[in-house]
C-alpha cells in the first residue's frame, strides 16, 4: 500500500478528514436527520453533488465518524482493564477516560449519544449495539468486583448504578465546554467525589429524614 493511497483515519489530515470533521460538527449540533448534505457541502465551500466524490452517502459519513470514535474509545478502555488496577481505581480511570473523550471528541460523543438509538436500527450500524453490550459488561464487572472485595457498598443494585454512572458521564457532553474553565479532569474529579462518597463501603450515619407523624 503506497503512502498516498493508504486509508486515511477520521482524525487524520487531508480533504476526506476535513469533510468528516465538518459533518461531525453539524451532526452533533443539529442532529443527523436535520443536517442535509447541502449543509455539509456548504460548510466545506463546495456543492452537494461534489460530496459524493468522497463518500457514498450521508450514512457512510456517520458510519465512518462513529466507527473511528468507538474504536479509539474502546481501545482506551481495553488498556485500562489490562492495567489491572483493582475495582476502585479502574472505575476512576474509566470515568476520567470518558470525560477526556468528551473533551477531545465532543461532536463524536454527541452523535453517539443522540443518534445511536436510531442509527443502530440499520444493519450497517450493528456494531453500536455490540459496543453498548461491551460497555455494560465493563461497568458491571467493575462494580461487581468492587462489591465482592468490599470497595463498594454491598447493597448496591449493580444494574441500576451502572445506568446512573453511564448516563451521568455521557450526558455531560450536553453542557461540557472544551474551551471553558473546567477541564475534563476537573469535572471527572468532582463527579467521582459525588459518586464515590455514595458508592464507597461505609454507610452515611445520618438517619433518613422521615415525615413527622
Partner DNA sequence: GTCTATATCTCGATAGAC
Partner DNA sequence: GTCTATCGAGATATAGAC
Binding interface with DNA (CB under 7 A): 15, 35-38, 41, 45-50, 52-54, 56-59
Q: Which of residues 81-110 bind a copy of itself (CB under 8 A)?
A: 88-89, 92
- How buried is residue 166: exposed, middle or buried, by Cβ count under 10 Å (0-12/13-18/19+)? middle
Name the residue among 65, 71, 74, 53 with its Cα closest to residue 27: 65
- The answer to whether 181 contacts a copy of itself (rule: CB under 8 A) is no
Residue with Cβ nearer a copy of itself (78 or 182): 182
- The answer to whether 1 contacts a copy of itself (rule: CB under 8 A) is no
Name the residue among 199, 198, 174 with its Cα closest to residue 187: 174
- How buried is residue 65: exposed, middle or buried, by Cβ count under 10 Å (0-12/13-18/19+)? buried
- The answer to whether 126 contacts a copy of itself (rule: CB under 8 A) is no
Cα-Cα-Cα-Cα dihedral sign, residues 128, 130, 132, 135: negative
- The answer to whether 161 contacts a copy of itself (rule: CB under 8 A) is yes
Residue 37: C-alpha distances to residues 11, 26, 98, 119, 182 (Å): 20, 10, 30, 17, 34
Residue with Cβ nearer DNA (33 or 78): 33
Residue with Cβ nearer DNA (17 or 81): 17
- 46 vs 43: CA distance, rounded Å: 8
Instruction: Work out which of 6, 53, 204, 207 binds a copy of itself, going by CB under 8 A.
Output: 204
Instruction: Work out which of 5, 160, 177, 181 binds a copy of itself, going by CB under 8 A.
Output: 160
> Which residue reads 455514595 in cell numbers?
198
- 196 vs 68: CA distance, rounded Å: 31
Which segment (51-59, 123-131, 137-145, 196-204) binds a copy of itself by CB under 8 A?
196-204
Which segment (19-27, 58-66, 137-145, 203-211) binds a copy of itself by CB under 8 A?
203-211
Residue with Cβ nearer a copy of itself (68 or 99): 99
Residue with Cβ nearer a copy of itself (36 or 57): 36
Chain centroid offset of residue 111 CA:
9
Instruction: Work out which of 167, 178, 180, 185 binds a copy of itself, going by CB under 8 A.
Output: 167
Name the residue among 79, 192, 184 with its Cα closest to residue 138: 79
Q: Which of residues 14-43 bind a copy of itself (CB under 8 A)?
A: 30-31, 33-34
Amino acid at each position: 500500500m503506497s503512502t498516498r493511497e493508504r486509508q486515511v483515519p477520521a482524525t487524520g489530515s487531508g480533504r476526506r478528514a476535513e469533510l468528516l470533521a465538518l459533518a461531525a460538527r453539524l451532526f452533533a449540533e443539529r442532529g443527523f436527520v436535520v443536517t442535509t448534505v447541502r449543509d455539509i457541502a456548504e460548510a466545506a465551500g463546495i456543492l452537494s453533488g461534489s460530496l459524493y466524490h468522497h463518500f457514498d452517502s450521508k450514512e457512510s459519513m456517520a458510519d465512518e465518524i462513529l466507527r473511528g470514535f468507538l474504536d479509539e474509545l474502546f481501545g482506551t478502555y481495553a488498556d485500562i482493564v489490562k492495567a489491572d488496577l483493582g475495582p476502585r481505581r479502574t472505575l476512576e480511570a474509566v470515568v476520567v477516560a470518558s470525560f477526556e473523550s468528551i473533551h477531545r471528541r465532543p461532536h463524536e460523543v454527541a452523535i453517539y449519544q443522540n443518534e445511536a438509538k436510531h442509527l443502530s436500527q440499520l444493519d450497517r450500524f450493528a456494531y453500536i449495539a455490540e459496543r453498548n453490550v461491551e460497555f455494560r459488561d465493563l461497568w458491571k464487572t467493575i462494580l461487581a468486583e468492587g462489591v465482592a472485595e468490599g470497595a463498594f457498598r454491598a447493597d448496591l443494585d449493580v444494574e441500576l448504578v451502572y445506568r446512573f454512572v453511564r448516563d451521568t458521564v455521557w450526558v455531560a457532553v450536553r453542557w461540557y465546554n472544551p474551551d471553558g474553565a473546567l477541564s475534563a479532569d476537573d469535572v471527572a474529579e468532582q463527579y467521582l467525589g459525588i459518586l464515590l462518597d455514595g458508592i464507597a463501603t461505609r454507610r452515611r450515619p445520618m438517619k433518613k429524614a422521615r415525615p413527622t407523624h
